[in-house]
Amino acid sequence: MEFQIIWFVLWGVLWAVYFMLDGFVQGAGMLHYVLGKSDGDRRVLINTIGPVWDGNEVWLVTAGGATFAAFPTTYAIMFSYLYTALLLLLFALIIRGVSYEFRGKSEGAGWKKGWDAAICIGNFLPALLFGVAFGNIFAGLPMDAAGYHGSLLSLLNPYGLLTGVLFVMLFAVHGALFVSVKTRDDLQARSAALAKKLWPALLAVAVAFLGYTNFATKLYDNYLSHPVLLIVPLLAVAALLGIRIFMAKEMLLTAFASSCLTILLVVGTGVTGLFPNLIPSNMDTAYSLTIYNSSSSPYTLKIMTVVAFIFVPIVILYKIWVYRIFRAPVTLDEVLENKEAY
């Protein structure tokens, strides 16, 4: 059934783009204290993120909505089985969302400190939790005829945690590079230096992840049976190396672009390995959720495909337009002068 395959691809693309975009928001946010040494620094950081965080977060809402519309059984299982983890994620996203808007609304030191903490935790936790969630999806959840046999604790298994750390590291480097592109002077220099320092750790975690994936998941089966697919993880590794190469050449924008590609391709690697599963069962493959046994009816998939093919290109076009309007770097002077700044 072609629609199911189309929606599998779209589902993967939506999650990949979400992580590519919100990844730098989460990265810059988790580095809020490290990069933001003064109130001025922190205001500049927040103002680089300010115009784009909401638009980036909508990709999550769309990914979730698309899962609901195209694969409702998977949506239901994913959100109810991973209840507590997603609850914590939700709390973090709620706190993060309001902190950008609220921090600048009062001058009290305690007020600002509180929202600074919210920005840091509200961005660090989602990165970790998304990694844990997807690691467990890659490895498969313990589900069978009797239902779900897992818990929040069982999600924090070694592979899940490793994937969590991978996401944290990916986003940290990504966020630092974003900041280096969007700022100047001291903040730019420090964020670029931080990205360079973090990269080796990212590489180590990525290698560990690629290795452990072989033992913890069945993701590599697809690659072994269709070796041409290996191009995806190979390009992911190339992009990851590209980050380091471009950073060394002081080509920060290209390094950031390489980081974008890395995230897209890492998610792509995972999703390609999952096919045709959406959430495998690690107890009994008969209970794996696939694109075939958990999808909507052909009619619904067709309607959704028409909507997606009309509107997603439009969305991408106006998003690029607005990003271009905000391509200039953010400086402290600009933030202090502008009454509407965060």
Partner 1 sequence: MDVLTLSRLQFAVTSMFHFIFVPLTLGLSVLTAYMETRYVMTGDETYLKMTKFWGKLFLVNFALGVVTGITMEFQFGMNWAEYSKYVGDIFGAPLAIEATVAFFLESVFIGLWIFGWDKVSKKVHLLSIWLVAFATNLSALWILLANGWMQHPVGYVLRNGRAEMVDFGALLTNPYGVLKFIHTVLSGYMVAAFFVMGISAYHLLKKNRIDFFKCSFRIAATFGLVSSILVFLTGDYSAVLVAETQPAKFAAMESVWETKRGVGMNLFLVPNEEQECNEFERFCIPKVVSYLAFHLPNAEIKGLKEFPRDLRPPVLPTFLSFRLMAGLGMFLLLASLLGSILSRWGKLEDRTLFLKIMLLAIPAPYIAAQLGWIVAEVGRQPWIVYGVMKTSDAVSRSISVSQVVVSLAGFTLLYGGLGVIDIYLLAKIAKKGPEA
Out of 9, 40, 41, 55, point to the residue binding partner 1 (CB under 8 A): 55
Kindly write out the interface string for residues 218-247 of this chain, putting x where it contacts partner 1 by CB under 8 A and - elsewhere: ------------------------------
Out of 6, 30, 77, 172, point to the residue binding partner 1 (CB under 8 A): 77
Out of 78, 177, 239, 255, point to the residue binding partner 1 (CB under 8 A): 78
Write down the least CB distance from residue 26 to partner 1, Å: 15
Out of 40, 65, 276, 329, point to the residue binding partner 1 (CB under 8 A): 65
Q: Please state, in angstroms and rounded to a whole number, the distance separating the CA atoms of residues 140 and 153.
A: 15
Q: What are phi and psi of 144, to 5 degrees?
A: -150, -160
- Note the residue count of the chain: 342
Helix (H, G, I), strand (E, B) or coil at 93: helix
In the chain the beta strands, taken as DSSP E runs, fall at 143-144, 147-148, 277-279, 289-290
Kindly state whether residue 70 participates in binding partner 1, applying the rule CB under 8 A: yes
Site for partner 1 in 83-102 (CB under 8 A): 83-84, 86-87, 90-91, 93-95, 97-98, 100-102
Question: Does residue 176 contact residue 48 with C-beta atoms inside 8 Å?
Answer: no
Kindly state whether residue 25 participates in binding partner 1, applying the rule CB under 8 A: no
Kindly state whether residue 76 participates in binding partner 1, applying the rule CB under 8 A: yes
Kindly state whether residue 1 participates in binding partner 1, applying the rule CB under 8 A: no
Out of 13, 57, 142, 181, point to the residue binding partner 1 (CB under 8 A): 57
Query: Residue 277 has which token pair?
Result: 């599963």
Q: How far is CA 336 from the centre of its chain?
A: 31
Out of 2, 107, 250, 340, point to the residue binding partner 1 (CB under 8 A): 340
Write down the least CB distance from residue 62 to partner 1, Å: 4
Kindly state whether residue 117 participates in binding partner 1, applying the rule CB under 8 A: no
Question: Does residue 36 contact residue 342 with C-beta atoms inside 8 Å?
Answer: no
Kindly write out the interface string for residues 250-289 of this chain, putting x where it contacts partner 1 by CB under 8 A and - elsewhere: ----------------------------------------
Question: Does residue 7 contact residue 71 with C-beta atoms inside 8 Å?
Answer: yes
In terms of phi and psi (left: phi > 0; alpha: psi -120 to 50; beta: otherwise), the region of 250 is: left
Reference 267, options 115, 99, 63; nearest CA is: 63
| DSSP state at residue 228 | G
Kindly state whether residue 60 participates in binding partner 1, applying the rule CB under 8 A: yes
Q: Please state, in angstroms and rounded to a whole number, the distance separating the CA atoms of residues 330 and 183.
A: 5
Reference 181, options 123, 237, 257, 264; nearest CA is: 257
Residues that bind partner 1 in the complex, under the rule CB under 8 A: 47, 50-52, 54-55, 57-58, 60-62, 64-66, 68-70, 72-73, 75-81, 83-84, 86-87, 90-91, 93-95, 97-98, 100-102, 105-106, 147-148, 296-297, 299-300, 303-304, 307-308, 311-312, 315, 318-319, 322, 325-326, 338-341
